[in-house]
Amino acid sequence: MKLFRILYKTFKVVLVMFIILIASVFIYVKSSPKPIINSANNITLYDKDNNVFFKGNQSSEWVNLNDISDNVIKATISAEDKNFYKHFGFDIIRIIKAAFTNVVNGSTKQGASTITQQYAKNLFLDFNKTWKRKWEEALYTVKIEANYSKKQILEGYLNTINYGHGKLGIENASKYYFGKSSKELSLAEATILTAIPKAPSVYSPLTNFEACKKRQLLILDLMVKNNMISEEEKNTAYNTEVKLIGKEENETISNIYYYQDAIMNELKKIEVIPKNYSSLNGLKIYTSFDYNAQKILEDNIKNAFSDNSTLETSSVIMNPNNGEILALVGGRDYNKSSYNRAISSKRQVGSTMKPYLYYAALENGFTASSAFTSEKTTFTVDNDKEYSPINYNEKYGNKPISMATAIAYSDNIYAVKTHMFLGFDALINIAKRVGIPENLQSVASLPLGTNEINILHMAAGYSAFANLGYKVEPHCILKVVDGNGNTLYKTKEDRELVLNPSLVYILNNILTATYDPLYVDYNYPTAISLAGKLRHKYSLKSGTTSSDNWNIGYNSKYLCAVWVGQDDNEKLTTKDYKYAQNIWYKTMEKLEENSPEDADWYKKPNNVVGVLVEPISGKPSQDVNKNTKLIYFLKGTEPKETDPTFDEIAAN
C-alpha cells in the first residue's frame, strides 16, 4: 500500500510537470513569430549569366489542396499519418508503439513521424541527427500546428516533398511521371506516386518498378484498413497498368539535377547560411553553371555509350583560374541513378597521379630530359619486401628514356624510380600543396594511382597546373541572397601561389607528349589516337586501373576531368578504355570550337628556353634531318650530351 501511494504521488508530480511543460511550450509558441512554412524548398538557382535555371516551390507548380486529387490525399494520409486530423503534431500512441517495436526487435527501423513533423524537417537545409536539430524540428512542429490549419499543412507538405528524380511537389511529380495534372490522378497513379517519398532512390517506378509496386500494395492495404477504399477498388487499382512517361516537357539537359545536388551539398557546408528556411524567406543562389558547357558534356556522354552498357561516369568542367564548376555530371542517367559520383565517390586514379610526381621532380632538379632506364625492375621497399611493377602491355625500351618520354608512354618503371629517388614524401607534399585532401599512403605504388581520390579534388589539383601554380577551391556557388535581399554569402576568389609558374609551364608542355607522333618509337603515346583529332593544344594525362579509366586535360581556359568505370569495381574490357578519352576530347574541342588554335595556350616565361632534342632520349640534337622535338628548360639547365642516367648514378 505504501508503494502504491509513492507511485501515485510520483505519477501526479510527473503529470503536473508534463502539463507545465506543455503549457510553457504552448505559451512560447503563441508568443513567438509565426513560422513561414511555404519557405521549404523556396530556392531559386541562377546560372553564370544570372538566368534562372531552377525554381523550387516559387514555381507555378504549387497547387491548392482543392486542386489535388482526393486519391493522393487519402493515399498520403494512409501511408504517412493516419491520425493526421486528430493529433497536434505528434502521434503519441504511434510513438509508443514504434518505440516498443524497436526495443523488441533491437532496431530503429520503425518510425513515427507525422506529416507535420516531416514538413518541419523540410524547413531545414540539412538533416543532421543531433539532439539540437531534433529539438528544433520538434519546436517547429508545434509552431506549425499552432499557427496553421490542417488543410494548409497538408497542402504545403504535398507541394514540397521529394518525389525523386529532382521532382519536388505533387504537381511536378504528376506531370513528370504521368504527363498530367495532379487533380487528374487515378487511384492507381496516386498510390504509385505516394509510394516514392519514403525512399525515392529505392521506390522510383522508373528504376525499380517491382519495389514500387510492393509499396503501392502496402498503401492500398492501409487505405482499405482505414476505410478509405473498398477491397474491390484496391484490387482494381493494383492491377491497373499505368503509363509512365518519366520525361520533362522540352527536356534538353536531363542530368542537370547532378549539378543541383552539388549546389545543395555545397550550401550545407557554408557556415554563415542559417540552417532553416523559415528565417530566410527563401534563397537566391547565384552559381557558375554554364548551360552550354553542361549540354556539351551531357551530349558527349550520351553519345559515347551503347544503350545496354552498364558503365558509369563522373565528369566535370572547371574554370581552372578560379575553381568555378561550369558543368558537372555524376552519372549517365539521373533518372536511373541519382547517386552523384562527382561529389560522393572516390576511385583509384591510376596514372593521372604522375603529373604531381613529375612536378616534384622538376622542383628537385630534374628536367624534361632527365633519364632513367626503362626495363623490368624489382624494387626493394620497406622491410626488404620486393615490389615489381609492370608497364602496360609489358613494353620496355631497355634503354634510358627522358621524363617527357615517360609521360608520353605513362612508363610505370620510370615513375616508381623517380618516386624512390625523391623519397615518398615528395609526391605527397605536392598533392597536398595543390589541394588534394585525401590521406595518401606513403607506398612505392602511389604514383601509379593506387589511392582513391574524388574527381573534384583531382580537378582542383590539376587546376594548379592549368593556372600556372595557384591553388583553387572547386565551387558552384558564387553568391547567396535571402528572400529579403540580404547577401548572406559571397565567394572569395583568393588564390594562393603554391607552385613555380616556370616549372609548371615546362610540365604543361611535357604533357602534350601524350598525343605527339614524334614520340612513336618502341611504344606509342597513350593518346596517340587523338593526334589528328585535336585542333587545339592541351595538356593531357590518362589513368587506368583494372576497373577505372580517367582522362584529365586542360589549357588556360578550361579543365575537363572524366572518369569511367563500374560502380561495383568490375574489371573493364579493352574497349571500355576508349570512352573517357572520347568524352574528354570531344568536350574540349566543342568548348574551344570558336577559338584560334593556340589562343588559350601559355606564354613562355622569360627564364625558360626551348631546346631541340631527340625526343626519346632527351639528348640535344643539332641534326635537323633527325627526328627532333622542341622541349623547354629553365635557363642554365639545358641538356648536354654527357648528362648521365639517374639510375646509373644511384647504382654507383
Q: Distance between alpha carbon 473 and the CA centroid of its chain, in Å?
A: 15
Smallest CA-to-CA distance from 342 within 439, 454, 475, 477 is with 454
Q: How far apart are CA 314 and CA 340, in angstroms?
A: 8
DSSP β-bridge partners for residue 384: none
* Catalytic-labelled residue, pool 39, 69, 78, 80: 80
Long-range contact pairs involving 203-211 (C-beta distance under 8 Å, separation at least 24):
203/164, 204/164, 204/165, 204/335, 205/177, 205/242, 205/244, 206/165, 206/177, 206/244, 206/246, 206/335, 206/336, 207/335, 207/336, 207/337
Active site residue 592: no
Count of Cβ atoms closer than 10 Å to residue 78 Cβ = 23
Active site residue 80: yes
| 583 three-state secondary structure | helix
Smallest CA-to-CA distance from 348 within 541, 545, 573 is with 545
Q: Provide CB contacts within 8 A for 230, sequence distance 6+.
A: 224
Q: How far apart are CA 209 and CA 89, in angstroms?
A: 33
Residue 500 exposure: Cα atoms within 13 Å on the Cβ side? 15
Please tell me what DSSP assigns to residue 333: -
* Catalytic-labelled residue, pool 288, 351, 374, 463: 351
Please tell me what DSSP assigns to residue 541: E
Q: Is the dihedral of CA 54, 56, 60, 63 positive or negative?
A: positive
Phi, psi dihedrals of residue 480, rounded to the nearest 5°: -125, 125
| CB 191 within 8 Å of CB 219 | yes
Which helix (H) or strand (E) segment is 296 a member of?
A: helix 291-304
Smallest CA-to-CA distance from 649 within 372, 239, 451 is with 372
Q: Distance between alpha carbon 451 and the CA centroid of its chain, in Å?
A: 18
Q: How far apart are CA 526 and CA 103, in angstroms?
A: 59
Q: Would you please indicate which residues are annotated as catalytic (active-site) residues? A: 80, 351
